[in-house]
């Protein structure tokens, strides 16, 4: 190729590049010298960055970088990277003329002449703020998801159709004393152990077949021993409906089940004791400020005592309250009001009518506590004290009969002495001077 042909070739290439730079509007194309001073400018650069050619030529390309990137030396670092590797990635936030920022996906390429001398850098930028915003939104969602899943007291695992872990949350990893990264790519069987995996394998197979399964099972873990786990496996499908794996959410309910069992056993023992209470019953009553009452529990001992079943009293509290003797109602009501006002123990003895028409005395004692709803909970016991009351009444009757007998006896003893007392008074009236008579008269009056 002759010198003239080469010149024409260069002129043609220059014209093609000029046309290329002017017609490509989605990209900012410009050239800087080795120090980053802008030497050429394109329509796309003006459109993206907002500077006209006459405003930017001869200015440092640092104009397009954020102040924090300029302070940290990012523009020079980008040029150094381009010189070292042949290109300098420019994926970062940049600044337009109006001060707004955009995310650029770009590159800086060193330009060298035929002798290998550095003549400058070709800069290419494209606004990828939309993609960056999507990426950041996705990152935020992922961060929030991890924030939630890592803090809830639930074990979460994401597994593929080959039964390998894709993700576990922190509680799941901590349950096995491992890091989350140790699970990724590992088989479920290898991480759980043979016995534990055998217990859940049918449910894993069901999930991989596309079934959603929920179950509660005792899993024989090698390190912790049997643990009761409540599990839910949800199949994962791709856009074409093919099963790609499943997500497992697991809650360890061992302590809850143990506590429930212990509570049930305690309640059963209490119920056995209360139902076999001789001539008495245990009760729990809920009352509101308007005076409405409802029994929550009455032990079986109420039936042999009063003739009414616990079911009858639970259905209607007035069944029991209507049995109070009319002469005792005002006193019982007054003591109830005093107990409610001071949340003091209720302690009262009163009479109840039985279903058979007889009266029984009961001693009722109850503790009170106020609930957050404003209602008052009564929990207490009442016992049959009829025998004691009858014994007390019999004792009072015996005391009365004793007093009447002694009074009669005293009266009868005094009557025979009446003539002697009269004779002594006559002797005193007559006034006999004999001292012996005087002493005898005084003695008779004292004894009579």
Q: SS3 sequence, 40-54?
A: ECCHHHHHHHCCCHH
292-311 average pLDDT score: 90
**pLDDT for residue 152 is more than 60:** yes
**pLDDT for residue 275 is more than 90:** no
pLDDT confidence bin for 29, thresholds 50/70/90: confident
**pLDDT for residue 315 is more than 70:** yes
pLDDT confidence bin for 10, thresholds 50/70/90: low
pLDDT higher at 174 or 408 = 174
Q: What is the pLDDT of residue 394?
A: 85
Residues composing the chain: 448
pLDDT confidence bin for 14, thresholds 50/70/90: low
380-390 average pLDDT score: 90
Q: Which residues contact 14 (CB under 8 A, 6 or more apart)?
A: none
Q: What is the pLDDT of residue 326?
A: 94
Q: What is the pLDDT of residue 190?
A: 92
What is d(CA 165, CA 247) in angstroms, rounded to the nearest whole number? 10
What is d(CA 208, CA 244) in angstroms, rounded to the nearest whole number? 8
Which residue in 95, 88, 30, 32 sits closest to 68, CA to CA?
95
Q: What is the pLDDT of residue 153?
A: 82
The percentage of the chain sitting over the pLDDT mark of 90, rounded to a whole number, equals 45
Tokens of 57: 């030529």
pLDDT confidence bin for 204, thresholds 50/70/90: very high
Task: From residue 368, give the alpha-carbon distance in Å to each of 149, 281, 351.
Answer: 43, 17, 22
Place of tokens 């390190």: 223
For residues 348 and 335, the answer to whether their CB atoms sit within 8 Å is yes
What is d(CA 137, CA 439) in angstroms, rounded to the nearest whole number? 128
The percentage of the chain sitting over the pLDDT mark of 70, rounded to a whole number, equals 82
Place of tokens 């006002």: 341
Digit-coded pLDDT (tens) for 325-351: 999 999 999 999 999 999 999 999 999
Tokens of 235: 């199949």
Which of 65-74, 102-111, 128-137, 182-191 bottoms out in mean pLDDT, i.e. has the lowest?
Answer: 128-137
Q: What is the pLDDT of residue 187?
A: 95
Digit-coded pLDDT (tens) for 221-272: 887 778 899 999 999 999 899 999 999 999 988 888 878 777 787 677 777 7
Mean per-residue pLDDT over the chain, rounded:
84
Which class does domain 3-130 fall in? alpha beta
For residues 298 and 309, the answer to whether their CB atoms sit within 8 Å is no
CATH architecture of structural domain 278-384: 2-Layer Sandwich (3.30)
pLDDT higher at 338 or 401 = 338
Q: What is the pLDDT of residue 162?
A: 95
Which residue in 23, 19, 31, 25 sits closest to 56, CA to CA?
31
Tokens of 306: 């009063």
Q: What is the pLDDT of residue 73?
A: 93
Query: Residue 164 class from Cβ within 10 Å (0-12 exposed, 13-18 middle, 19+ buried)?
Result: middle
- Coil vs helix vs strand at 308: coil
Q: Which residues contact 67 (CB under 8 A, 6 or more apart)?
A: none
Which of 39-43, 71-75, 424-428 bottoms out in mean pLDDT, i.e. has the lowest?
Answer: 424-428
Which residue in 376, 302, 316 sits closest to 346, CA to CA?
376
Q: What is the pLDDT of residue 419?
A: 57
- Coil vs helix vs strand at 431: coil
287-293 average pLDDT score: 86
Which CATH superfamily, name and number, covers 150-252?
PAS domain (3.30.450.20)
pLDDT confidence bin for 420, thresholds 50/70/90: low
Q: Which residues contact 386 (CB under 8 A, 6 or more apart)?
A: 359, 360, 361
Task: Look up residue 60 and give its DSSP letter.
Answer: B
**pLDDT for residue 35 is more than 90:** yes
pLDDT confidence bin for 323, thresholds 50/70/90: very high
Task: From residue 153, give the alpha-carbon distance in Å to each of 58, 174, 175, 231, 251.
Answer: 61, 11, 11, 13, 7
CA dihedral 55, 59, 65, 70 (to 10 degrees): -150
State the first-to-last Cα distance of the chain, in angstroms, to the nearest integer.
174
Digit-coded pLDDT (tens) for 92-114: 899 999 999 998 888 898 999 88
CB atoms within 10 A of CB 398: 10
Helix residue ranges, H only, 51-193: 53-56, 67-71, 74-85, 129-149, 170-175, 188-192
Q: What is the pLDDT of residue 407?
A: 72
**135-149, 205-219, 395-409: which is most confident:** 205-219
- Residues of CATH 3.30.450.20 domain(s) within the chain? 3-130, 150-252, 278-384
Which residue in 235, 198, 194, 236 sits closest to 217, CA to CA?
198
- Coil vs helix vs strand at 152: coil
């Amino acid at each position: 190729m002759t010198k003239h042909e080469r010149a024409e070739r260069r002129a043609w290439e220059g014209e093609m590049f000029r046309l290329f730079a002017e017609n490509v509007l989605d990209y900012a194309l410009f050239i800087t010298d080795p120090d980053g001073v802008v030497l050429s400018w394109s329509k796309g650069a003006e459109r993206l960055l907002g500077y006209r050619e006459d405003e930017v030529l001869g200015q440092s390309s640092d104009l397009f970088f954020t102040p924090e990137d300029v302070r940290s030396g990012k523009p020079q670092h980008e040029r150094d990277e381009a010189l070292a590797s042949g290109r300098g990635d420019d994926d970062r936030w940049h600044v337009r003329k109006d001060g707004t920022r955009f995310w650029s996906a770009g590159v800086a390429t060193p330009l060298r002449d035929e002798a290998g001398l550095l003549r400058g850098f070709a800069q290419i930028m494209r606004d990828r703020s939309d993609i960056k915003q999507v990426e950041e939104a996705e990152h935020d969602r992922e961060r929030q998801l991890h924030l939630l899943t890592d803090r809830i007291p639930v074990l979460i695992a994401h597994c593929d159709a080959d039964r390998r872990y894709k993700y576990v949350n922190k509680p799941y990893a901590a349950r096995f004393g491992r890091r989350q990264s140790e699970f990724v790519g590992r088989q479920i069987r290898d991480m759980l152990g043979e016995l534990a995996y055998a217990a859940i394998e049918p449910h894993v197979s069901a999930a991989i077949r596309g079934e959603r399964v929920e179950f509660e099972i005792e899993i024989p873990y090698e390190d912790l021993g049997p643990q009761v786990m409540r599990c839910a496996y949800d199949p994962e499908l791709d856009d074409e409906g093919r099963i790609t794996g499943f997500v497992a959410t697991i809650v360890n309910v061992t302590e809850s089940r143990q506590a429930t069992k212990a509570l049930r056993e305690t309640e059963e023992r209490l119920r056995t004791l209360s139902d076999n209470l001789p001539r008495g019953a245990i009760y729990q009553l809920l009352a509101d400020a308007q005076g409405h009452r409802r029994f929550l529990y009455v032990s079986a001992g109420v039936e042999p005592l009063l003739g009414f079943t616990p079911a009858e009293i639970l259905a209607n509290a007035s069944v029991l309250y209507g049995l109070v003797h009319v002469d005792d109602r005002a006193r019982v009501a007054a003591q109830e009001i005093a107990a409610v006002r001071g949340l003091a123990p209720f302690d009262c003895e009163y009479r109840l009518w039985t279903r058979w028409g007889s009266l029984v005395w009961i001693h009722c004692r109850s503790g009170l506590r106020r609930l957050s709803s404003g209602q008052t909970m009564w929990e207490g016991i009442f016992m049959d004290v009829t025998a004691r009351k009858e014994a007390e009444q019999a004792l009072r009757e015996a005391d009365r009969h004793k007093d009447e007998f002694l009074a009669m006896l005293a009266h009868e003893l005094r009557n025979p002495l009446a003539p002697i007392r009269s004779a002594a008074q006559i002797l005193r009236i007559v006034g006999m001077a004999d001292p012996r008579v005087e002493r005898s008269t005084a003695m008779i009056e004292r004894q009579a």
